Amino acid sequence: MKKILFFFLILNTLLTQSIQTDQKPILTEIETLTETTRYYSTPDEAWFWNFISNFTLWGNFGWSVSVYGNFFVGGAYDARRAFFFRYNGSNWNQEQIFYEPSFPGFGYSVSVYEDVIVIGAYGSKGAFVYRYNGAIWNEEQILNESIPYFGYSVSVYEDVIVIGTNGAKQAFIYRYNGSIWNLEEHFNKPSVSYFGYSVSIYGNVTVIGTYDANQVFIYRYNGSIWNQEEILNKSDLRFGSSVSVYEDVIVVGAYGAKQAFIYRYNGSIWNLEQILDEPSVSSFGYSVSIYEDVIVVGAYYSNQTFIYRYNGSIWNLEEHFNKPSVSYFGYSVSIYSNVTVIGASDANQVFVYEADLIPQVNIVNCSSLFSSFDCYWDKIEFFRTLKYQINYGYDWIDIESPILEDENVYYQQFNSSNLC
């Protein structure tokens, strides 16, 4: 049974923003001392979520998202804008807006790594590179190629940027030499439909997905050139429409088949490790992102997103976010460390989830289901009691009055038969 905890904060932006925090640990019985006294505890970790909204003036905010450390950026390509947020230890605050009114498609793709942000403007055949000086992001360079859809997809890692072109079936790699970004590699696949639709880079590995050819190309840098290492092929619809690589694992979305494929490198080849399959969820696999042992998969057409965690042998579903009223929730996803960012472009919203360790919370002294007291949380900030409902019996009812510094604590009622 689930316990839901909400906090409401204010995000400091040009528009009114709201941040909500949702804690959903499942209570599990850990000990029965007597027939009338049971102990329950929460898991060690729970996902909290912050909800950034009301960008109604900025078309398609959340079309693209990227997170790194305490930074995240969200693109709104229809408004030719991208928004930078920084976490100050308690809140995500909007600190800068990138705006290029003369460049159609600006914000269609975004990527952030350390002090570098790349923003694609595919309608203008360009990609903008910004560098952070500790206070603001300054435009460092505009990458231009006279190639249709240049900037459709972007990814940055350390001193390397990968840019896809989608319709032109090409991709480009740039490397920073300490002063400028130089073109290092140009991939051209004229016979591969929509080559460059998706791109991802980590370390010396670059992954380039296709949209219609159901292929994914893997390149590895040997210190001087980028060699094609392997081509992943699947007949599944839209295989390669989304890709993400981290260390020796690649995730490939195939949203037409409602699947995501996980490959692991064994030192010589990339082996298929597992297929994540949600046959009842439309567009599952449209967006993917991986960090360490966690994978995020978006399904925008169903307004859902899924989080999987690797236990050393298989990837298990850890969390399922369902936002039926938030249009295109899951259109874009990005994960770094314990922070996951999910875009809902049609609703002009971005959700920021944080997985944090939580203190163990026990329910103790459940002396009787027919008492209006003697059942409570042993943490002073969490109190519960029982209330009789006609034709329903006794239910757990949570005390909603402010307690300590948590002045807006709210609990959701659930049936007592699932507890004591």
**What domains can you pick out in the chain, each with its CATH number?**
5-43+362-418 (no CATH), 51-357 (2.130.10.130)
Higher pLDDT, 321 or 408: 321
With bands split at pLDDT 50, 70 and 90, how would you rate the model's confidence at 172? very high
* Averaged pLDDT, 333-342: 95
Q: pLDDT for 59-101, tens place per residue?
A: 799 999 999 999 999 999 999 999 999 998 878 889 999 999 9
Average pLDDT over residues 183-196: 95
| Cα distance between residue 182 and residue 172, in whole Å | 10
- pLDDT reading at 276 higher than 90: yes
Q: How far is CA 337 from the centre of its chain?
A: 11
Q: What is the pLDDT of residue 256?
A: 95
Banded pLDDT at 319 (limits 50, 70, 90): confident
Helix (H) or strand (E) holding 265: strand 259-265
- Residue that wins the pLDDT comparison between 155 and 396: 155
Torsion angles phi and psi, residue 321, rounded to 5: -100, 125
pLDDT at 287: 98
Q: What is the structure's pLDDT at 47?
A: 64
Count of residues for the chain?
420
Strand partners, 30: none
pLDDT in tens, 16-54: 333 333 333 333 332 332 333 333 333 345 565 665 655
Longest dimension (CA), the chain: 76
Position 51 scores a pLDDT of 56
Range 392-405 average pLDDT: 40
CA 341/CA 330 separation, integer angstroms: 9
Strands, DSSP E only, in 100-190?
106-113, 116-121, 126-132, 137-144, 153-157, 160-164, 170-176, 181-188
Average pLDDT over residues 100-111: 96
Residue 16: C-alpha distances to residues 51, 142, 196, 318, 419 (Å): 12, 32, 37, 32, 40
271 Cβ contact partners less than 8 Å away, ≥ 6 residues apart: 263, 264, 265
Segment 322-343 mean pLDDT: 94
H or E element that contains 287? strand 287-291
Residue 174 identity (one-letter amino acid) = Y
Closest CA to 361 of 109, 141, 46, 13: 46
Share above pLDDT 90 across residues of the chain, in percent, rounded to a whole number: 63
Q: How buried is residue 34: exposed, middle or buried, by Cβ count under 10 Å (0-12/13-18/19+)?
A: exposed
Q: What integer is the mean pLDDT of 381-387?
A: 43
pLDDT tens, residue by residue, 342-367 = 999 999 899 888 886 544 333 333 33
Q: Is 227's pLDDT higher than 80? A: yes
Q: Give the pLDDT score at 57.
A: 60
Of the pLDDT bands very low, low, confident and very high (cuts 50, 70, 90), residue 55 is low
Specify whether the CB–CB gap between 65 and 75 falls below 8 A.
yes
pLDDT at position 14 is: 31
pLDDT of res. 217: 98
- Mean confidence (pLDDT) of the chain: 78
Tokens of 393: 């019996």
d(CA 100, CA 82): 9
Stated pTM of the model: 0.78
The pLDDT score that the predictor gives to residue 236 is 73
Report pLDDT for 265.
98
Q: Residue 44: what pLDDT?
A: 43
Residues 398-420 have a mean pLDDT of 33
Cα dihedral value 50, 55, 59, 61, nearest 10? -20
Q: Read off the pLDDT of residues 241-268 as tens digits, 9 standing for 90 and up.
A: 999 999 999 999 999 999 999 999 999 9
Least confident of 136-140, 369-373, 403-407: 403-407
Residue 352 φ then ψ, to 5°: -115, 115
